[in-house]
Amino acid sequence: MIRKALWLSATSVLLTLFTVSGHAEDRVVNVYNWSDYIDSSIIDDFTKKTGIKVVYDTFDSNEILETKLLAGGSGYDVVVPSANFLARQIQAGVFQKLDKSKLPNLSNMWDVISERTAKYDPGNEYSVNYMWGTVGLGYNVKKVQAALGTDRIDSWDTFFNPDKLAKLKDCGVYVLDSPADIIPAALKYLGLDPNSTSPDDIAKAQDALLKVRPYIRKFHSSEYINALANGDICLAVGWSGDVFQARNRAEEAKQGVEIGYSVPKEGAQMWFDQMAIPADAPHVADALEFINYMMTPEVIAKSSNYVLYANGNKASQQFIDKAILNDPSVYPDEETTKKLYTVAPYDPKTQRVITRTWTKIVTGQ
């Protein structure tokens, strides 16, 4: 991290020198996005078209991004936090309002998604959707067939029913190490409000998770991609795009591992990754231009075709590969979309209860 930061600052020093030495018009935008989350030709195209240099850096957890933003002076112009993190970062004063007159491509956005992201960012004043997806069940088709006698999983029951999960114990079950994704799923399965912050409800979710705890091999938020792709595990509760990545890696490896992904019929949590500009961003005008470019239908479609996530851009859908657009696990049909839910960010007190409950579930203490 430190080395990367040093490298970055060295780069910006070099760029500054370069600017001074002649190209007074040289413009830069520092982008901080999730790893493996863009088709890199998009960045080259942007530079070719606008002459703005992109310094592109990546992170792999919201927490790391948040810590940099809260410490201040990150030097980034465009960052891409998930919506529930974004919400409390807005409260903390991390971001600046977007000048919408500089974002004509906003007209391409999809109201179905904008309505939902407004729950985190009222009026979408601070952010624009980049990609969105669901929290669901990724599984090894052959191993699940062998253990459960079915090659399709479509319900949370496969995970929360101790009798069923016990059968998958030996082939391996991984779960996201992320209470904000798993506890709402448990509440949903129990027929409770996934947004509930009542200690009683959270305790019920804890009981449900403790019942299946003995059959879970590990809680981790990224290892399951490789574990699924290598055939080391047969079930993972994970993020849609990660499971698709595992599916692609498994296909490339040609070891006969086949990965499926299911949005459980009871309903699944939607998440959103949002582009936003830090309040202390050094290149605001360039950042706005970058965000506007990313809302060009052809551009964001190219990104979706590459990373296999759905995006919040309605106009881009005609440019998205039919196989992706018609895949209900990427773009769920209307019926399923109705059942998808969002979870509001927790206040600090509830967050503490949730984290403590999670430690109890994960470590037994």
Partner 1 sequence: MTNIAATAAAPAETAALPTRLAKGFVDRLVIIVPYLWLLFFFLVPFIIVFKISLSQTAISMPPYTPVLDFSDGISGFFAGFRELNFDNYAWLTQDALYFNAYVTSLIIAGISTILTLIVGYPIAYGMARAPATIRPTLLMLVILPFWTSFLIRVYAWIGILKPEGLLNQLLLSLHIISEPLVILNTYTAIFIGIVYSYLPFMVLPLYSSLEKMDHSLIEAAQDLGCPQISAFWKITFPLSLPGVVAGCLLVFIPAVGEFVIPDLLGGSQTLMIGKTLWNEFFSNRDWPVSSAVAVILLLVLTIPIMFFQQAQAKAQEQGK
Between CA 228 and CA 245 the distance in angstroms is 10
Q: Is 22 in the site for partner 1 (CB under 8 A)?
A: no
Residue carrying structure tokens 């949002």: 274
Q: With contact defined as beta carbons under 8 Å apart, do 351 and 180 qualify?
A: no
Q: Between 51 and 73, name the residue whose CB sits nearer to partner 1.
A: 73
Q: Is 93 in the site for partner 1 (CB under 8 A)?
A: yes
Q: With contact defined as beta carbons under 8 Å apart, do 167 and 145 qualify?
A: no
- Strand ranges for 263-358 from DSSP E: 270-276
Give the HSE-up count for residue 76: Cα atoms under 13 Å, Cβ half-sphere: 26
Nearest to 269 by CA among 202, 179, 356: 179
Contacting range for partner 1; rule: CB under 8 A; set: 58-66, 254-262, 297-305, 314-322: 58-66
Q: Between 276 and 299, name the residue whose CB sits nearer to partner 1.
A: 276
Q: Is 88 in the site for partner 1 (CB under 8 A)?
A: yes
Sites for partner 1 among residues 341-360 (CB under 8 A): 348, 351-352, 355-356, 358-359
Q: Between 34 and 309, name the residue whose CB sits nearer to partner 1.
A: 34
Q: Between 89 and 311, name the residue whose CB sits nearer to partner 1.
A: 89
Q: Is 256 in the site for partner 1 (CB under 8 A)?
A: no
CA distances from 288 to 3, 23, 68, 250, 257 (A): 28, 22, 21, 38, 43
Q: Is 67 in the site for partner 1 (CB under 8 A)?
A: yes
Q: Mind giving me the DSSP string for 215-274?
A: G--EE-SSHHHHHHHHTS-SEEEEEHHHHHHHHHHHHHHTSS--EEEE--TT--BEEEEE
> Closest distance between partner 1 and the C-beta of residue 354, in Å?
8
Sites for partner 1 among residues 192-251 (CB under 8 A): 216-220, 223, 232
> Closest distance between partner 1 and the C-beta of residue 349, in Å?
10
Residues in touch with partner 1 (CB under 8 A) = 61, 63-64, 66-67, 69-72, 88, 91-94, 177, 179, 216-220, 223, 232, 348, 351-352, 355-356, 358-359, 362-365
